[in-house]
């Protein structure tokens, strides 16, 4: 779908008009380009009080060949050198013209509230030196797993800081907080790669937890991390599902594209474009779970990744909502997913280091007028992630969800103009996301190196003002 305002506001005349009228000034966002480096510009790495995650962070920066500078006096230069990353020391001054594509800060050494000033000392002098589509990444320790009360408090405080600067930085920049559990440092790579790259274009203000886990991960070929994997995507004939199928196939997976029989022509088109296969059925049919499990077993001896993307809206205020609309939305968006998961588990279809990936919505977090059925179903999806995590983990499988905000699809093109414009602009990026932005987050969960990413709900909403 086209967003003509973005084109207008980025023309010389449009810029003048927007500036004088105080209108939102969205910037076209950088997106993944197979020929570009993971980070197209300089990374500034800093740390507070000898944080103990710096080695793990520097190792990832070294693996992606990031051109890195070490923030002066923060001790990171030595940590970087110890893992083979050459990072020159950098001390900011008001006059220097240095630009940064990413600011990465190891905050794990912040042990009490007074030490939070390290955030101010690091980010304050350089925040204006970010280039467009820049990345701010704060990395700390999972507060609820720490046994010192002051340390827990200080680490929890990082959340407010990160979300606030996400709202301050403009020019398509994002800000995230990654909490790494003690003992999980080696599980950081897939997450840091995702957040530092253009793949996370429309994700901002998010808090992610990387866990220590008994699930054994795999170090992939990062250009084709899903090679050898089989993924099933529901609702794959169009919109976000089509983008998910394309993105997982780009990353090397064989994708089984599932949609209702009425969509079979589009489904065939999508599957053919990615060398995938087709499974045309209605996920709410009584025999759907058995048919899915049997197909995966027969055609692929199992399944590595299932993406529960199929979903519908049937909006009415509660007083005007007929039983049928309520039941249909809950059944498609939630109950059918529970039934399919149960069958895949019962028949042992999901392989070790497998993935269950769900699509919630910010409506399921914040609620939305006229969407009591939809919001219930999408909050239920979050409940399903939380409730199924222990059982799936015991079987070597992770479960996570994305919660999209305003994504440019047929679903949102049908919204009346004024409401559509509000949805598009009321976020830190002042624009809607693209289906591929949701798909990239799903591909990060799907990565065989994301074994420590479990039970997360990540919003793909440009840091929408609606919801948490």
Closest separation between CB of residue 119 and ligand NAD, Å? 32
CA–CA distance, 176 with 206 (Å, rounded to integer): 5
| 162-172: burial string, b at 16+ Cβ within 10 Å, e else | bbebbeebbeb
Rounded Cα gap, residues 62 and 104, in angstroms = 13
Asked if 138 and 169 count as a contact pair (C-beta separation under 8 A), the reply is: no
Please, which residue, 75 or 241, has the CB nearer to ligand NAD?
241
Smaller CB separation from ligand NAD, 159 or 282: 282
CA of residue 167 relative to chain centroid, distance = 18
Cβ contacts of residue 217 below 8 Å, gap of 6+? 187, 353, 448, 449, 450, 451, 452
Residues that bind ligand NAD (CB under 6 A): 234-235, 237-241, 259-260, 263, 282-284, 309-312, 332, 359, 361, 404, 406-407, 409-412
Catalytic residue among 90, 179, 202, 374: 374
Whole-angstrom Cα distance, residue 124 to residue 68? 19
Nearest to 356 by CA among 297, 403, 402, 398: 398
Least distance to ligand NAD, CB of residue 312, Å: 5
Does residue 359 contact residue 240 with C-beta atoms inside 8 Å?
yes
Neighbours of 27 (CB within 10 A): 17
Q: What angle do CA 360, 362, 363 make, to 5 degrees?
A: 90
Query: What's the min distance (Å) between Cβ of 238 and ligand NAD?
Result: 5
Distance (Å, rounded) from C-alpha 110 to C-alpha 140?
8
**DSSP designation for 30:** P
Decide if 201 contacts 172 (C-beta within 8 A).
Answer: yes
Query: Nearer to ligand NAD by C-beta: 241 or 448?
Result: 241
Closer to ligand NAD at the Cβ: 242 or 393? 242
Nearer to ligand NAD, 85 or 260 (CB): 260
Q: Tell me how far, at minimum, the Cβ of 281 lies from ligand NAD, in Å.
A: 7
CB of 193 to ligand NAD, least distance (A): 24
Whether 374 is catalytic is yes
User: Shortest approach of ligand NAD to residue 282 CB, angstroms?
Assistant: 4
Tokens of 31: 């997106």
CA-closest candidate to residue 384, choices 347, 345, 353, 439: 345
The Cα–Cα gap between 387 and 78 comes to 43
The nearer residue to ligand NAD, 404 or 452, going by C-beta atoms, is: 404
Beta strands in 341-409 (DSSP E): 350-359, 397-404
Query: CB-wise, 43 or 267, nearer to ligand NAD?
Result: 267
In terms of Cβ atoms closer than 10 Å to its own Cβ (0-12, 13-18, 19+), residue 417 is exposed
Least separation in angstroms between CB 110 and ligand NAD: 35
Which residues are catalytic, by number?
374
């Amino acid at each position: 779908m086209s967003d003509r305002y973005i084109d207008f506001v980025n023309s010389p005349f449009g810029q003048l008009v927007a500036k004088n009228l105080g209108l939102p000034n969205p910037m076209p966002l950088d997106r993944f380009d197979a020929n570009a480096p993971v980070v197209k510009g300089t990374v500034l790495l800093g740390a507070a009080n000898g944080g103990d995650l710096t080695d793990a962070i520097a190792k990832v920066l070294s693996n992606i060949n990031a051109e890195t500078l070490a923030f002066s006096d923060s001790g990171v230069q030595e940590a970087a050198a110890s893992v083979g990353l050459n990072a020159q020391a950098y001390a900011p001054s008001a006059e220097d013209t240095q630009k940064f594509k990413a600011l990465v800060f190891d905050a794990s050494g912040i042990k009490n509230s007074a030490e939070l000033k390290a955030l101010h000392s690091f980010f304050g002098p350089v925040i204006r030196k970010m280039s467009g589509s820049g990345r701010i990444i704060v990395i700390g320790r999972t507060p609820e797993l720490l046994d010192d009360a002051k340390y827990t408090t200080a680490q929890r405080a990082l959340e407010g800081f990160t979300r606030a600067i996400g709202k301050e930085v403009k020019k398509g920049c994002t800000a995230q907080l990654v909490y790494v559990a003690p003992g999980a440092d080696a599980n950081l790579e897939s997450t840091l790669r995702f957040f530092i790259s253009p793949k996370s274009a429309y994700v901002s203000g998010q808090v992610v937890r990387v866990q220590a886990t008994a699930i054994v991960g795999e170090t992939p070929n990062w250009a084709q991390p899903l090679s050898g994997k089989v993924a099933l995507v529901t609702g794959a004939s169009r919109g976000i599902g089509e983008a998910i199928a394309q993105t997982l196939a780009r990353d090397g997976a064989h994708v089984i594209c599932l949609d209702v029989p009425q969509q079979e022509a589009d489904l065939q088109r999508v599957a053919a474009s990615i060398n995938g296969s087709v499974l045309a059925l209605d996920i709410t049919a009584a025999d759907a779970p058995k048919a899915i499990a049997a197909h995966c077993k027969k055609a692929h001896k199992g399944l590595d990744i299932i993406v529960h993307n199929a979903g519908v809206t049937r909006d009415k205020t509660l007083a005007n909502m007929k039983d049928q609309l309520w039941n249909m939305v809950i059944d498609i968006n939630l109950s059918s997913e529970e039934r399919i998961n149960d069958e895949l588990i019962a028949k042992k279809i999901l392989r070790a280091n497998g993935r269950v990936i769900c699509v919630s919505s910010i409506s399921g977090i914040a609620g939305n007028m006229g969407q009591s059925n939809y919001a219930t179903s999408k909050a239920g999806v979050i409940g399903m992630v939380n409730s199924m995590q222990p059982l799936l983990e015991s079987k070597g499988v992770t479960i996570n969800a994305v919660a999209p905000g305003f994504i440019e699809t047929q679903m949102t093109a049908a919204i009346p103009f004024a409401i559509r414009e509000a949805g598009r602009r009321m976020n830190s990026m002042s624009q809607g996301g693209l289906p591929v932005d949701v798909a990239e987050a799903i591909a990060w969960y799907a990565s065989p190196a994301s074994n420590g990413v479990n039970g997360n709900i990540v919003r793909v909403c440009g840091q929408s003002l609606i919801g948490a």
